[in-house]
Structure 1
């Protein structure tokens, strides 16, 4: 039988990625980049952070589903086999589409559906102290990526403001990007510490 997946490994990888994103921003700022280029660097940083978080979360869900299908069986109303391949687990989670979510509530609902209410991953991600950071990450990433009026409105809602220039111009001031990175790192650290596998 194949070795079961771990949730610690993707969480630890995400922590390393957070450090590399921080290093990238520090390098950009310390090399006398223009204000515009620093804004672009912060937009790239938030998109990279989101992408790495998305990958970590998907891998943690695959690991959880790979080990225990009971939550999904309860949700769907029929019994899934106990042993599913990683590829089958991934397909059950994302189907023919892609893995995405709109905020903390949707992240928690996906966790409940695939790994259950009492799984460590659900417990960590539903922590109310992470709501603000997760929602800012998602909204600012979408604004950086799409620059649409709808994404701008969601970004404004997430930061509680009336005006915003670009996602990068917001993120580069007052340590906002680094604050999000630090908080996301602490989420991953909790996942790595609390993961039983």
Structure 2
């Protein structure tokens, strides 16, 4: 029988991974690498961080659904038994495919189906203190992975909002004019390797994991 999934265990495992990523970045920063090698190293760290975050979210959603199917029954209009096997929970969360979501807002929308609005996981992820870290993590990851015009535009927007301290570029005429002049970085790694930006993201993700650990029943 496999290990029973646990929100506390998932949070601890995530922080073990982020500690390893921090150690990796300390090592590459001290190694005298070329700028290209350093950029690629930061993109590797970014992708590994995103994978760990996705695993944390999936594990916690499985735990939430396994503990209480009520919110999912309300969302779907289908009455599920109060408790479901973990494999069944995973299938319902992923739809039998990959665990995927469209940015921070997409994650919160998908999460609400399984947790309801006041669940500890929903509250932790929704916290405004982590808005920019999550949006930067996810948009930069897509930029690193795809390098498409669409992913570049999303990164341009998320970096601009982060720098300006706004939720959206659709504000005043002055804000829109300022955004029109904003540029995206050449790559995700180029942006992340400067000014402690990757540390900024990791610090806030670790704080998220701490809140999950505190809120999880087991």
TM-score (norm 1): 0.95
Alignment partner, residue 130 of structure 2: 130
Tell me whether 1:193 sits opposite 2:214 in the alignment.
yes
User: Cα deviation per residue 1:64-110 (whole Å; 9 max; x = unaligned)?
Assistant: 10111000000011210122111110110111321112222211112
Residue 164 (1) aligns with residue 164 (2): no
Kindly indicate whether residue 35 of structure 2 is the aligned counterpart of residue 54 of structure 1: no
Offset, 1:3? 7.8
**1:174 and 2:174 equivalent?**
no
Deviations 1:22-76 (A, max 9, x none): 1011111111111111100100111110000000000000011011100000001
Corresponding position: 1:147 with 2:147: yes
RMSD between aligned residues: 1.6
Checking the alignment, whether the CA contact within 8 Å between 2:6 and 2:60 is kept in structure 1 is: yes
What does 1:1-197 correspond to in 2, within 5 Å?
5-160=5-160, 161-197=182-218
SS of structure 1 residue aligned to 2:58: helix
Structure 1's consecutive aligned runs of 4 or more residues displaced over 2 angstroms after TM superposition are 2-5
Counterparts of 1:182 and 1:107, CA distance in 2? 20
Q: 2-side partners of 1:128 and 1:102: how far apart?
A: 18
Q: Compare 64-73 and 114-123 and name the one that shifted more.
A: 114-123
Deviation at 1:123, TM superposition (A): 1.0
Please state how far the C-alpha of 1:4 moved relative to its aligned partner. Answer: 5.1
Q: Deviations over 1:156-180 (max 9, x none)?
A: 1110142311100100001111111
Asked if the contact 2:8–2:213 (Cα under 8 Å) also holds between the matched residues in 1, the reply is: yes
- The gaps in structure 1 that reach 5 residues or longer are none
Q: Between 89-98 and 68-77, report the one with greater CA deviation.
A: 89-98
| Structure 2: stretches of 5+ with no match in the other structure | 161-181
